[in-house]
Amino acid sequence: MSSRALRPESTEVPRLPERRPARRVAQAARAATPVVVVKQAPPFRMASRETHPERTIVNAGGVEIGAGGLVVMAGPCSVESRQQIRETARRVKAAGADMLRGGAYKPRTSPYDFQGLGQKALEWLAEASRESGLPVVTEVLSPEDVDLVSEHADLLQVGARNMQNYALLRRLATATKPVLLKRGPSATIQEWLLAAEYLLSGGNRQVVLCERGIRTFETATRNTLDLAGVALVKQLTHLPVIVDPSHATGKRGLVAPASRAAVAIGADGLLIEVHPCPGRALSDGEQSLDPVEFAELMGTLRARETAAGAQIAAGMGSASTSVVTRSRMSHNGRQ
């Protein structure tokens, strides 16, 4: 027999072509397919800096809010008499205020508290404005009052309690005057910006946001000033943001430090309560500055603003000098 016949037949099973694991196949497919990431737009589309990267500058009676300078609005919580608002306007003007604030209609927690003098107070505000040259900011409570308040005021305020009064927001969206929108005591930042969205989407693009403190478990102050929220909102929106340190703290002695902190963190302005005699004020006297205290605060704020402007100018000058020096060095090196 031949040696070939004596060899046992091969028992090796034929191998099938090697198959890559399903995971590797899926990975290869994903690598070959371009991935498109769709970024979801924020719910407050018109208020967002993503859709409107340029800063909005609001013009209120000739005063530009959000243009880079600090805008200070000062005056009493409530207009109590013709003499009171005229004296306040004169003294806050002398101290360096940019606008006159004063309440004609006052939403109060108790129905027995002073509710404001209404149309008569508006007329006195307009008179004080003409005498002092300060534009007026005052609150409007209902859609029916928008036309009347617009005749006498330059900036229409939506109070904290009315932040989500949608009928009022829709009416103000059609107004020709800019709107100051205060944050509600228990409102999140998104809810605040969505309230602003009602104004913007309805046609009024002149909106200023105002942080006035939120309600927390702390009872030592009237509210809790959310300074981190101010900085965050400045990043999220193109709208100007100001701070009300009077309502945020509820204490006269805290108004000045809270104001300086707000300016330091980037607020575009301040809304400060000032009364000729806080001890006799019909509302919020405990958080109102007298004219002397206000003048002292304005002195420190304006001094810091001037110093900050000088530092910026010096920095720009140094940068320009550095660029010129580098240019000359480069030019000499090429010679």
**41 vs 35, higher pLDDT:** 41
Q: Please check the confidence at residue 25 and state whether its pLDDT lies above 90.
A: no
Contact call for residues 222 and 247 (beta carbons, < 8 A):
yes
pLDDT > 90: percent of the chain: 74
Give CA–CA dist 92/73, Å, rounded: 9
pLDDT at 326 over 90: no
Distance CA 117, CA 102 (A): 11
Compute the distance between CA of residue 318 and CA of residue 324 in angstroms, rounded to an integer: 10
Q: Provide the pLDDT for residue 251.
A: 97
pLDDT at 328: 47
Residue 1 lies in a domain: no
In a domain, 284, yes or no: yes
Q: Please tell me the predicted confidence (pLDDT) of residue 115.
A: 82
pLDDT tens readout for residues 61-105: 999 999 999 999 999 999 999 999 999 999 999 999 999 999 999
| Number of structural domains found in the chain | 1
Would you say residue 135 lies in a domain? yes
pLDDT at 303: 87
**pLDDT of residue 290 exceeding 70:** yes
- Mean pLDDT throughout 15-30? 57
Amino acid symbol at 104: A
pLDDT of the residue at 111? 86
Determine the pLDDT at residue 113.
Answer: 85
State the pLDDT at residue 42.
83
Lowest-confidence segment of 136-150, 192-206, 224-238, 306-320 by average pLDDT: 306-320
Q: Looking up tokens 């969205």, which residue turns up?
A: 197
CB atoms within 10 A of CB 58: 22
Q: Where residue 66 sits, what CATH number does that domain have?
A: 3.20.20.70
Query: Is residue 11 situated within a structural domain?
Result: no
* Cα(331)–Cα(319) distance, integer angstroms: 18
Q: How would residue 24 be classed by pLDDT, with cut points 50, 70 and 90?
A: low
Residue 36 lies in a domain: no
Percent of the chain with pLDDT over 70: 80
- Determine the pLDDT at residue 302: 87
Calculate mean pLDDT across residues 22-33: 60
* 330 lies in some domain: no
The dihedral sign for the CA sequence 197, 203, 209, 214: negative
Torsional class of 266: left (φ above 0), alpha (ψ -120 to 50), beta (otherwise)? left
Whether pLDDT at 9 is above 90:
no
23 vs 325 pLDDT, higher one: 23
Does 99 reside within a domain?
A: yes
For residue 146, being part of any structural domain is answered with yes
pLDDT of the residue at 144: 96
Residue 145 belongs to domain spanning: 58-312
pLDDT band for 16, please (50, 70, 90 cuts): very low
Question: 155 falls in which pLDDT band (50, 70, 90)?
Answer: very high
Candidate from 9-18, 169-178, 193-202, 304-313 with smallest mean pLDDT: 9-18
Output DSSP code: residue 129.
H
> What does the mean pLDDT of the chain come to?
87
The pLDDT of 128-138, averaged and rounded, is 98
Q: What is the per-residue pLDDT for 331?
A: 47
Quick one: pLDDT at residue 31?
60
